[in-house]
Structure formats: structure tokens, C-alpha cells
Amino acid sequence: MVRPKVKIRGIYTTGLTKFLLDSHCSIVYPSREVLSRFGIKGSGSPTVDVSIIDRSDKQGVILEGDPERAAEVMEALRNALFDVVSRRVTPPENKDTAMYDVEFPSLSKASLDRIRGEVVPTMDGHHRFRIIASEYVDLIEREVEKYPFKMGKMEEALRKRLILDHLEKGRGLNIEHVKPEGKVIQLQGGMIEFLSGDKKQMLIRRALKGGTYDGLGMIIEKGDYAITRVREGDWLVKHSYYSSGGLLKGEYWNINTPVEFYPEKIRYVDLHVDVVLKGGGRPEMIDRDQLERLVEKGYIKEELTRKALQVAEGLALSPQADG
């Protein structure tokens, strides 16, 4: 069996190197840190079958190379990372090369944190922290590598400084709604109206401007607003829609990958299936067919589809649709 030769650069390098070595790949042109951490020896100027580099937003990677080898590496990642999203894209210059735009949502980042932790002391949230302040996290983790007993204290301090200190009642917050197909939608943001003591749950009040309510078949009227309930790590985001006079007009549960908190935004990947509740009615699941097409097109795997359906069906069967 010929092992794919993979070159890796970026914030996911250590985790991906460990994973791909365990998946019977060869790592070529290793960085200085990888040479030190894995004891990989250079071998002249080897051929590169697949290259992996960070996306510009650091929320995943671009995987590119020989079509057969790239597909092999991509399949290994899909098998190992529960909520990974992959999009086959056309390379801008070379039609003989396969290219994948790979998204690492919350659980994928957590898995890569754990894999990295098998090599070097790694904080929970390492890769999310690196997206926010890469050089600062490097500085802190060099200290952790020297003194592993400081791990818990450093992790707590870093989370507080990079994320929690930015979340306060009355502050504005954006909602980054990422489609599996790759489009990033910035939902109309709002102001934090309530924040739990541990800052893991919040209510966001959002003014609404024109258009119609998805799934509810109603026009957004002047003065309408939404109260959006968000809890870190949840598989859903709940929107309650009100008239200017405070009358509840309907509710909408967006099913998504576990919500991630960032300094000025929340982020998740939308999984298309949703649950709606119109005034006086019962919860109803919508857009199941759109979820199933994501698997057919190769964006997500079947297990993630089943999880999304489990969440949606649980809400649809609940008389109160609590969530």
C-alpha cells in the first residue's frame, strides 16, 4: 500500500499530523515544530500528493492534490470527525487537481483538540482560541508545555480574556449563519438582553426589517422584533417573533451544529431542517428534504443527518417544543 504524502501548514498542523500518521499517511516537508514533536526525518524533496492549508477564516482547511489521494485523505477526515463539512470545489488553475473546502464546526475542533493533546499539552478550545488570537495562544501554550500543571488555570484565563469578557448585557452581538454549501449569512444582529451567570446562555433582542418569516408564511411588519435564545454547545437556536406590541407571532427552531461563542458573534453551520410553531398551532418540522440532500451531495455524513433529525423530531413531538 502506497501512503499518501501530505504537506500540512496552519493552526491545525499538529492535530492533523497526528491523525494522518495514525491513518497511514506520510508527512512531507514537516514544519520545525512537527520535526521536533514527531521525530519525522526529512527525505530530500519528496513528491507532495496532498497539501493542507488553513482557510482564510481559520474555520477549516483547504485540502488539494492528486484526485485519488485527496479523496482518500478527505474520506479519513469524514470518518473521524462527526460534524465535518466538505465541499468539492473547482481549482482555479489546474483541472487535474481535486480541491476540498473543509469546515471544522464545534465538534470537529474539539476532536482535533483531543488528538493534539495526545502529542503535546493542549487546552480544551485550543483551535477556537487560535482562530481568535493565534500568536497570543502560542505564547500561553508554550508556558503550558513547560508547566502542564498550569493547564486548567491557563485555559480558564484564556477563555475569559478572549471570549467571556466580551459578552455583557447590553452589548451588540452578530449571528454567523453558515450554510453547508459554503455561503455565510450574517443574520440581523442584536443586543444581549439576558446573560446567564456562567455566560453560556443568552437572549438576544433583534429588530427585524421587512421581508417574510421563514416557514411561518407571515410578513414582517414594522416594529416586529425577535428574541433569540442561544446556549453554547446546543444543536439549535430558537427565535421567538413578536409584534411591536409584544404579541407572540410564532417561533422558529433552527437546527445546526453545536453553537460556538466568539468575542463579537456566535457561529454555527445550519443543517437546513427546522421546526416552526405558528400561533395556536403545533410544532411542525420543515425542510427535511433539504437536509437529506446534503448527504446526497457529499457535504455531510449520514450520522450527522440522523442527529439533526433526532433533534428536530424531538421538538416536533413536544407539545411545548421546549428548546
Res 279 pLDDT > 80: no
**DSSP assignment letter at 220:** P
Res 211 pLDDT > 90: no
Q: What is the pLDDT of residue 144?
A: 86
Written as nine digits, the cell of 50 is 496532498
The rounded Cα 73 to chain-centroid distance in angstroms is 20
The tens digit of pLDDT for each residue in 290-300 reads 999 999 999 99
Comparing CA positions, the residue from 24, 35, 28, 22 lying closest to residue 5 is: 28
* Residue 51 to residue 33: CA distance in whole angstroms: 17
Q: Where are the domains of the chain?
A: 5-108, 121-162, 170-316
Fold of 170-316: FomD barrel-like fold (2.40.380)
Rounded to the nearest integer, the mean pLDDT of the chain is 93
The tens digit of pLDDT for each residue in 59-104 reads 999 999 999 999 999 999 999 999 999 999 987 777 889 999 999 9
Strand order of the β-sheet with 26-27 is: 26-27, 5-8, 50-54, 60-65, 98-103, 85-89
Q: Are 38 and 20 in contact (CB under 8 A)?
A: no
Q: Name the burial class of residue 168, with classes exposed (0-12), middle (13-18) and buried (19+) by CB atoms within 10 angstroms of its CB.
A: exposed
pTM of the model: 0.93
